[in-house]
Amino acid sequence: MSLSETALPFDDIRNLVKSMPGPDEEALAKVRERDSQLTKPGGSLGRLEEIAEWLAAWSGKAPPVITRPMVAIFASAHGVAEEGVSAFPSAVNKQMVENFAAGGAAINQICRVNDIGLKVFDLAVDMPTPSITREDAMDEANCAATMAYGMEALAGGIDLICLGEMGIGNTTVAAAVFHGLFGGNAADWIGRGTGVDDEGLERKRAAVEKAVARLNGEKDPLEILRRTGGREIAAMAGLIIAARLQRVPVIVDGFVTTAAAAVVYAMDPAGLDHCLFAHVSAEHAHARVLEHMGKDALFDFGMRLGEGSGAALAAGFVKVAAETHSGMATFADAGVSEKS
């Protein structure tokens, strides 16, 4: 999927969003019909039944099937991290990319247990974007190119994509995106992230406030993204759009990945219907933004790691939902009496 060289870069993105397809109603109807015949009381599997319907609607497959799920981790670096908004130094970015490659991170273990592929995309972790308190994170061309790069993560027949990220300082950047998109005060959108103390939390609040003040009232979601966001957020926003166009269901992880989803939501509130939100992050503002967008997460385990860890856990539930729906016998197949 490529962007044209004739229009302004963001015009291409806007046109892609306008062309996003709706659900496959035929596949959805087939799943509902089969579900009514399975050897169980109707509705007895709760959200597993909803997930099976969601998979069919957005993949176009009935019964739903998952053969190649993948977690895509986008790693980036942020100049605002040097302003004391994180408990960890920026050197951790490269170190964690190496840890992912060596199989030593939490996400490696979750993917291994759930038989999910993992790919890490290094978005120049040695070259941080400028501090959003003073400069725009990206210009329009670079932001659009980064979104296009994220779109390419679907290459190779992926049929379920889980969003993941890693970048010291990116909860500050995500908070700025939320503040720019949804208003309120800077304090509404910040949390302790990697574990900052009270002084670090105040620096974080001030950084978000300065970054959004620089927007000067700008409300265009893509402009807010390029000016206050980061490369990983841009890449994930592009991936969400591409997944819709290619009928690949998406699982959104936590606080930072939801910032990418929020950009798409602000462009089109129906633009996230192919997305499942995995969990409620321990970052308190995550629940706030999910409520704002009318989204219900699958679970709340008090997690705030990132890396796609919550999304990979949720992918296990999604695989179970697909296998349960497709593998169960119908009343007729099993010779079981139906409800009278």
Q: Which of 7, 155, 173, 150 is nearest to 77 (CA)?
A: 173
State the pTM of this model.
0.95
Residue 181 pLDDT:
98
pLDDT of residue 334: 85
8 A C-beta contact, residue 111 and residue 204 = no
Q: Which residues of the chain have pLDDT under 70?
A: 1-7, 340
Q: Which residues are catalytic?
A: 307
CA distance 136 to 109: 36
pLDDT given for residue 337 in this prediction: 81
Residue 3: per-residue pLDDT = 55
pLDDT at residue number 4: 53
Phi and psi (nearest 5°) for 73? -100, 125
pLDDT attached to residue 281: 97
What is the pLDDT at residue 335? 83
Residue 298 DSSP symbol: S
**Alpha carbon distance 109, 252 (integer Å):** 19
Q: Which single residue is written with the structure tokens 């509705």? A: 43
The candidate with the shortest Cα–Cα distance to 164, out of 51, 312, 297, 272, is: 312
Which contiguous run of DSSP H or E holds residue 141? helix 140-151
4-37 b/e (C-beta count within 10 Å ≥ 16 → b) = eeeeebbebbbebbeebeebbeebbebbeebbee
Long-range Cβ contact pairs of 41-44 (< 8 A, separation 24 or more): 41/339
CB 145 within 8 A of CB 229: no
Is residue 302 within 8 A of residue 267, CB to CB? The reply is no
Query: What is the C-alpha to C-alpha distance for residues 252 and 164, in angstroms, rounded to an integer?
Result: 8
pLDDT of 135 reads 97
**Would you give the end-to-end CA distance of the chain in angstroms?**
53
Element (H, E) at 32: helix 25-35
How confident is the model at residue 5, as a pLDDT? Answer: 54
Which tens digit of pLDDT belongs to each residue from 128-156?
999 999 999 999 999 999 999 999 999 89
